[in-house]
Structure 1
Amino acid sequence: MTDIALNESLGHAYDQARTRLRNALADAGRTQDATELLAVSKTKPAAMIRQAWQLGQRQFGENYLQEALEKQTELADLDDIVWHFIGPLQSNKTRAVAEYFDWVHSVDRLKIAQRLSEQRPAHLAPLNICLQVNISREESKAGVLPEALEELAKDVAALPHLRLRGLMAIPAPAEGLDAQRQPLAALREALTALQNALPEAPLDTLSMGMSDDLEAAVLEGATLVRLGTAIFGARQST
Structure 2
Amino acid sequence: MGLQSRLSAVDQKIADAARLAGRDPGEITRIVVTKFHPASLVRDLHSLGVREAGENRQQELSAKTAALADLDDLRWHFIGQAQTNKAVAIRRSADAVHSVDRDRLADALHRAAEDDSILDVLVQINLTDDPGRGGVAPERADALAEHVLSLPSLRLRGVMAVAPLDEEPASAFARLRTVADGIRSLEPAADWISAGMTGDFAEAISAGATHLRIGSAITGPRPDRG
Normalised to the residue count of structure 1, the TM-score between the two structures is 0.90
2:36 — aligned with what? 43
| Partner residue, 2:100 | 107
Question: Once the 2 structures are TM-superposed, how far is the Cα of residue 141 of structure 1 from its aligned partner?
Answer: 1.5
> In the alignment, is the contact (CA less than 8 A) between 1:163 and 1:202 conserved in 2?
no
Whichever residue aligns with residue 58 of structure 1, its letter is R
Contact 1:37/1:227 (CA < 8 Å) preserved in 2? yes
Secondary structure at 1:33 match in 2: helix
Contact kept, 8 Å, 1:134 with 1:169, in 2: the verdict is: yes
Is it true that 1:221 corresponds to 2:208 in the alignment? yes
2:144 is the counterpart of 1:152 = yes
For 1:138, what is the secondary structure of its paired residue? coil
Check the 8 A contact 1:167/1:207 in 2, yes or no: yes
Name the count of aligned residue pairs: 225
Q: Distance in 2 between matches of 1:152 and 1:140?
A: 17
Paired AA for residue 34 in structure 2: S
Contact 1:104 1:129 in 2 (8 A): yes
The match for 2:129 is 137
RMSD: 1.4
- How far residue 139 of structure 1 moved from its aligned partner, in angstroms, is 4.1
Structure 2 residues not aligned, in runs of 5+: none
Shift of residue 42, structure 1, vs aligned partner: 1.0
Match of residue 21 from structure 1 = 14
Structure 1 residue runs without a partner (length 5+): 1-7
Contact 1:138 1:172 in 2 (8 A): no
CA distance in 2, matches of 1:182, 1:136: 12
Which of 59, 62, 68 is 2:61 aligned to?
Answer: 68
Bigger drift between 97-106 and 222-231 goes to: 97-106
* Deviation of 1:32 (Å): 1.8
TM norm structure 2: 0.95
Report if aligned partners of 2:34, 2:215 keep a CA contact under 8 Å in 1: yes
Residue type matched to 1:185 in 2? Answer: A
Runs of 4+ in 1 over 6 A off after TM superposition: none
Distance in 1 separating the partners of 2:54 and 2:164: 20
How far off is 1:121 after superposition? 2.0
Q: 2:86 aligns with which of 48, 68, 93?
A: 93
3-state SS of the aligned residue for 2:69? Answer: coil
Question: Which amino acid in the other structure matches residue 215 of structure 2?
Answer: G
For 2:49 and 2:171, the matched residues in 1 are separated by 33
